[in-house]
């Protein structure tokens, strides 16, 4: 039997076109006669639209059309992905603003011209007169006016269980923290783009440049346009990263499709970077007032959190999902007898926000782990030890929390959290690290280490399906409703199919992102692809194998259980003399006249529960006390994925996630001035980490706790690199400067850290020096 390829770090199938410049990203796609679309955006954060004068723009050279809200008045706003929601539907963003603008960057008009240069020239000629209204720039301020009928707090999510009040009354110690996570987001290297094209002969509307959830996006656009979704096809080519922000339905996607329909020419739209930073979904910004009640051992009795989620100007297709995920995942891997959370979902005059890699968990992990560190400091318990005392033990799995996250009951399927903590500490050489850091501190360096633990979620259902077919040349095609954002989904699916079927993975073509090839699909997001699509592929390939063996058994006149498939050939398990049959020939015989559809099989996988990978991050930082600069010297991320299909790709995901998490911890922030003008509008202001800012992280991929919820035991790996980076780096900074609880706000910019140091120096100079007992 040939060696299995699941579990091997095999090279990706996707790469050759990408290293030779033959990728087909949205910007690379062109159709004859195409027009270029340019959006005219609000330059005010809040105001009433008095007039929009497009006359000069319409008269400009090369302009085919200019639309305003009046031209798209019949379009419904883009709805929520999960369906209508009475609380949020009144707040949905119009395709083009007609009465009010509510954020700088909001689409107000759109120009269609012969080339992008002239489209931009014409866009500058559109005159928008706005009567400014005071902008609401903080989610914690009292809610303001959304319109004459409603305010800017559409809903509050409340959850909880247990007797929180009693727990706080009887606690040995109560700690209260005020914590903020800064506004930042995915910012992929490719900006958004879409090309709409109408095939009048077949009454078929096509959109290129889809990503992440092509079927849902198709349905969302079809609903807005009032069109039968079967007559709208979306195509995904190469995609330059998504991280959650690409692939949802945005106004520009609708406009591109409508433009193609109405103007009778293909319409191409490519966002520029300035637009991206003000118009593509933001994320993360929350302010938490969190308290924890603990006993004298530091064990949690209750956690009570009230937070303000800064949604920006409108709900996006995710509705209140990010706030909801925060509430459901906040307890993390710890036992928690009582819990209460109130999430105030508030609208402000900023770019709308939605999901970004590890949504709700990056935020919640920062809050929870800061509380754990505070407990440790207050009670004089080692921060690692205090976590150990609170971890849910393996013996309690599956562990049901009286809680739900996005409608799924939180049932932790499997996990050995304590063991992963041990692995991480061993992996970094924790004890030696501590003595090294003490030695360096004694020599005057401000260096420190921090630990953070977290749960992730993956494998979001409810179901996924795949078709697997062997063609008459022996090649295998796996048709999925999945999507590629560059993460290697084709390779992973090919590996799974290869092992289940008995074929070399390099002979397998994986199709994804084409709504006309497969009727339904849930795309790739929420770390679901390997679990859901992978499981469906496994089922399909297993059935395909059985079908092939059954057919071959008939042709070879042996019982099916005497046969195996190795390297694309059906062989006898026992004989060396190998009478065998090529799968290609089995396929031919099955598609011969009258015998049916050939060698093909379908597989479905259903689940009503997410599964829960988990991890530990350890950061080592050096602080420059004079400048407030922080350097992350070392990093270790340990993550349990149940079963690793391709460890090389998993490590890549964790490395990439870490870069984003580090960015959010130290560098990245969407800032606004008091008038609501965005300040982070170029890559000179919005700072992404370069290779110099990154530690070359040590990654531990653990398979201690396969998920019992799918046939391969897989948990998704896409998000585990980012989740705890904010928390771990914050803890390390506190340790480096010797001030527990110093960091309460991300990102920790040099200016903010210097201010913390200056305040500490001021108060120290007013008191006799204290001997800070770091750990016992």
Partner 1 sequence: MKPAPFDYHAPKTLDEALAMLARVAPLEGRVLAGGQSLVPAMALRLAQPAHLVDINGVQGLDRLERDAGDLVIGARVRHAAFHRRVTDGPLGALLAQVARHVAHYPIRTRGTFCGSLANADPASEWCVVAATLDARMVAKSARGTRTLSAADFFQGAMTTALAADELLAEARLPELAPDTRFGFQEFSRRAGDFAIAMALATFRLEKGVMVQARLGVGGVEGRPRRIPEAESLLEGKRPGQETFRAAADAAARSVAPLDDSRYPAAYRRDLARAMTRRALEEAA
Partner 2 sequence: MKIALKLDVNGREHAVEVEPRRTLADTLREDCGQTGTHIGCEHGVCGACTVLVDGEPVRACLMFAVQAAGRRIRTVEGLASREGGKETLHPLQSAFMEHHGLQCGYCTPGFLMLAAGTLERNPDIGDDELLEVLSSNLCRCTGYKNIVKAVRAAAARMRSRS
CA neighbor of 359 nearest in space, from 240, 549, 227, 527: 527
Distances (CA, A) of 98 to 42, 71, 102, 135, 608: 11, 10, 11, 18, 42
Query: Is residue 633 close enough to count as binding partner 1 by CB under 8 A?
Result: no
In whole angstroms, how close is the CB of 691 to partner 2 at the nearest point?
A: 4
Q: How many helices (H) and strands (E) does the chain have?
A: 18, 30
Query: Is residue 297 close enough to count as binding partner 2 by CB under 8 A?
Result: no
Q: Token pair of 617, please?
A: 């991050």
For residue 435, the Cα-to-chain-centroid distance in whole angstroms is 37
Query: Is residue 120 close enough to count as binding partner 2 by CB under 8 A?
Result: no
Please pick, from the candidates 330, 658, 730, 748, the single residue that binds partner 2 as defined by CB under 8 A. 658
208 binds, among partner 1, partner 2, none (CB under 5 to 8 A by kind): none
Mask 357-376, x = binds partner 1 (CB under 8 A)? --------------------
Our CA angle for 750, 756, 760, nearest 5°, is 145
Please pick, from the candidates 127, 385, 750, 760, the single residue that binds partner 1 as defined by CB under 8 A. 750
Identify the H or E element spanning 546.
helix 534-556
CB-nearer residue toward partner 2: 488 or 678:
488
187 binds, among partner 1, partner 2, none (CB under 5 to 8 A by kind): partner 2
Query: Is residue 251 close enough to count as binding partner 2 by CB under 8 A?
Result: no
Query: Is residue 726 close enough to count as binding partner 2 by CB under 8 A?
Result: no
- 3-class DSSP state for residue 224? helix
**Contacting partner 1 within 688-707 (CB under 8 A):** 689-690, 692-693
Q: E strands of 90-141, at which residues?
A: 100-101, 107-113, 127-132
In angstroms, the CA 12 to CA 21 distance is 16
Please pick, from the candidates 627, 633, 708, 761, the single residue that binds partner 1 as defined by CB under 8 A. 627
Please pick, from the candidates 485, 529, 532, 746, the single residue that binds partner 2 as defined by CB under 8 A. 485
In angstroms, the CA 698 to CA 692 distance is 16
Query: Is residue 61 close enough to count as binding partner 2 by CB under 8 A?
Result: no
In whole angstroms, how close is the CB of 684 to partner 1 at the nearest point?
A: 7
In whole angstroms, how close is the CB of 727 to partner 1 at the nearest point?
A: 22
Q: Any idea of the CA torsion for 246, 249, 251, 255, to the nearest 10 degrees?
A: 100
Alpha helices in 238-329 (DSSP H): 251-263, 273-279, 321-329
Alpha helices in 231-280 (DSSP H): 251-263, 273-279
Query: Is residue 154 close enough to count as binding partner 1 by CB under 8 A?
Result: no
Query: Is residue 682 close enough to count as binding partner 1 by CB under 8 A?
Result: yes
In whole angstroms, how close is the CB of 272 to partner 1 at the nearest point?
A: 4
In whole angstroms, how close is the CB of 533 to partner 2 at the nearest point?
A: 18
Contact 133, 48 (CB under 8 A): yes
In whole angstroms, how close is the CB of 692 to partner 1 at the nearest point?
A: 4
In angstroms, the CA 83 to CA 323 distance is 17
Please pick, from the candidates 450, 465, 488, 613, the single residue that binds partner 2 as defined by CB under 8 A. 488
Our CA angle for 395, 398, 401, nearest 5°, is 110
Query: How many CA atoms within 13 Å lie on the side-chain side of 196?
Result: 25
CB-nearer residue toward partner 1: 383 or 689:
689
In angstroms, the CA 224 to CA 312 distance is 22
Among the residue ranges 221-229, 232-240, 454-462, 619-627, the one whose residues contact partner 2 (CB under 8 A): 232-240
CB-nearer residue toward partner 2: 553 or 687:
687
Query: Is residue 19 close enough to count as binding partner 2 by CB under 8 A?
Result: yes
Please pick, from the candidates 50, 684, 696, 772, the single residue that binds partner 1 as defined by CB under 8 A. 684
Please pick, from the candidates 15, 28, 82, 124, the single residue that binds partner 1 as defined by CB under 8 A. 124
In angstroms, the CA 58 to CA 112 distance is 9
In angstroms, the CA 701 to CA 655 distance is 12
Secondary structure (DSSP) of 362-430? HHHHHHHHHHHHHHHHHHT--HHHHHHHHBPPGGG-SEEEEEEETTEEEEE----HHHHHHHHHHHHTH
Query: Is residue 89 close enough to count as binding partner 1 by CB under 8 A?
Result: no
CB-nearer residue toward partner 1: 20 or 690:
690
Q: How many residues in the shown chain lie near partner 1 by CB under 8 A?
A: 26
Contact 196, 112 (CB under 8 A): no
**Contacting partner 1 within 260-279 (CB under 8 A):** 272-274
Q: Token pair of 469, please?
A: 């077919």
Please pick, from the candidates 50, 578, 696, 772, the single residue that binds partner 2 as defined by CB under 8 A. 696
In whole angstroms, how close is the CB of 674 to partner 1 at the nearest point?
A: 9
Q: Any idea of the CA torsion for 270, 655, 750, 761, to the nearest 10 degrees?
A: 160
**Contacting partner 2 within 592-651 (CB under 8 A):** 648-649
Among the residue ranges 18-26, 261-269, 574-582, 624-632, the one whose residues contact partner 2 (CB under 8 A): 18-26
**Contact positions vs partner 2 (CB under 8 A):** 9, 11-12, 14-16, 18-23, 25, 27-28, 30, 117, 186-191, 238-241, 243, 272-273, 485-488, 648-649, 652, 655-660, 682-684, 688, 690-692, 694, 696-697, 721
- Contact footprint for partner 1 (CB under 8 A): 116-117, 120-121, 124, 272-274, 626-629, 667, 671, 673, 679, 682, 684, 687, 689-690, 692-693, 750-751, 754
């Amino acid at each position: 039997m040939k060696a299995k390829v699941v579990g091997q770090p095999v090279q990706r199938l996707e790469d050759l076109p990408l290293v030779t410049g033959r990728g087909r990203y949205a910007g690379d796609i062109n159709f004859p006669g195409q027009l270029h679309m340019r959006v005219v955006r609000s330059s005010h954060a809040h105001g009433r639209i008095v007039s929009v004068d497009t006359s000069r723009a319409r008269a400009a050279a090369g302009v085919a059309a200019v639309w305003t809200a009046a031209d798209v008045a019949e379009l419904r706003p883009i709805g929520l992905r999960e369906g209508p929601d009475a609380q949020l539907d009144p707040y949905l963003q119009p395709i083009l603003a007609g009465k009010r603008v509510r954020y700088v960057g909001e689409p107000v008009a759109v120009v269609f011209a012969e080339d992008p240069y002239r489209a931009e020239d014409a866009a500058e000629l559109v005159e928008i007169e706005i009567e400014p209204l005071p902008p609401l720039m903080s989610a914690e301020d009292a809610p303001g006016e959304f319109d004459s009928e409603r305010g800017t707090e559409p809903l509050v999510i409340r959850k909880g269980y247990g007797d929180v009040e009693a727990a706080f009354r009887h606690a040995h110690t109560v700690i209260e923290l005020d914590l903020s996570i800064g506004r930042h987001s995915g910012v992929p290297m490719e900006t958004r783009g879409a090309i709409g094209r109408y095939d009048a002969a077949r009454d078929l509307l096509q959109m290129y440049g889809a990503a992440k959830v092509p079927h849902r996006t198709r349905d969302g656009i079809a609903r807005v346009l009032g069109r039968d979704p079967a007559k709208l096809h979306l195509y995904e080519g190469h995609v330059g990263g998504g991280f959650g922000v690409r692939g949802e339905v945005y106004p520009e996607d609708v406009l591109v499709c409508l433009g193609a329909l109405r103007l009778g020419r293909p319409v191409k739209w490519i966002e520029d970077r300035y637009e991206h930073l003000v118009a593509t979904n933001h994320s993360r910004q929350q302010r938490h007032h969190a308290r924890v009640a603990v006993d004298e051992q530091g064990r949690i009795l209750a956690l009570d959190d009230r937070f303000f989620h800064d949604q920006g100007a409108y709900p996006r297709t995710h509705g209140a999902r990010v706030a909801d995920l925060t509430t459901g995942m906040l307890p993390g891997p710890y036992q928690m007898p009582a819990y209460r959370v109130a999430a105030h979902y508030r609208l402000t005059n900023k770019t709308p926000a939605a999901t970004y890699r590890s949504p709700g968990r990056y935020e919640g992990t920062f809050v929870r782990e800061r509380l754990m560190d505070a407990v440790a400091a207050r009670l004089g318990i080692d921060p690692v030890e205090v976590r150990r005392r609170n971890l849910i033990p393996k013996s309690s799995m599956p562990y049901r929390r009286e809680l739900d996250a996005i409608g799924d009951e939180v049932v932790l399927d499997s996990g050995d959290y304590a063991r992963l903590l041990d692995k991480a500490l061993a992996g970094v050489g924790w004890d030696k690290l501590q003595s090294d850091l003490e030695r360096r501190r004694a020599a005057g360096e401000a260096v420190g280490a921090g630990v953070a633990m977290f749960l992730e979620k993956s494998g979001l259902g409810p179901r996924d399906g795949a078709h697997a077919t062997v063609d008459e040349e022996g090649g295998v095609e796996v048709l999925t409703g999945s999507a590629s954002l560059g993460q290697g989904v084709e390779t992973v699916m090919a590996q799974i199919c290869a092992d289940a079927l008995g074929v070399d993975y390099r002979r397998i073509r994986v199709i994804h992102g084409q709504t006309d090839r497969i009727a339904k699909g849930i795309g790739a997001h929420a770390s679901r692809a390997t679990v859901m699509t992978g499981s469906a592929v496994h089922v399909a390939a297993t059935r395909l194998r059985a079908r092939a063996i059954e057919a071959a058994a008939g042709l070879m006149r042996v019982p099916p259980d005497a046969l195996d498939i190795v390297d694309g050939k059906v062989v006898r398990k026992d004989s060396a003399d190998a009478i065998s049959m090529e799968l290609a020939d089995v396929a031919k015989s099955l598609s011969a006249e009258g015998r049916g559809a050939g060698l093909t099989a379908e597989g479905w996988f259903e689940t009503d529960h997410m599964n829960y990978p988990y991890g530990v991050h350890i950061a080592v930082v050096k602080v420059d006390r004079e400048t407030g600069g922080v350097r992350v010297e070392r990093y270790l991320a340990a993550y349990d994925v149940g079963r690793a299909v391709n460890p090389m790709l998993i490590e890549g995901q964790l490395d990439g996630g870490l870069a984003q998490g580090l960015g959010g911890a130290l560098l990245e922030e969407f800032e606004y001035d008091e008038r609501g003008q965005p300040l982070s509008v170029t890559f000179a202001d919005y700072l992404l980490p370069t290779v110099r800012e990154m530690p070359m992280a040590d990654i531990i991929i653990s398979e201690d706790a396969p998920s019992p919820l799918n046939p391969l035991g897989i948990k998704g790996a896409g998000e585990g690199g980012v989740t705890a980076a904010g928390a771990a780096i914050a803890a390390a900074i506190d340790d480096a400067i010797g001030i527990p609880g110093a960091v309460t706000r991300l990102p920790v910019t040099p200016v903010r850290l210097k201010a913390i140091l200056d305040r500490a120096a001021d108060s120290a100079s007013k008191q006799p020096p204290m001997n800070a007992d770091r750990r016992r």
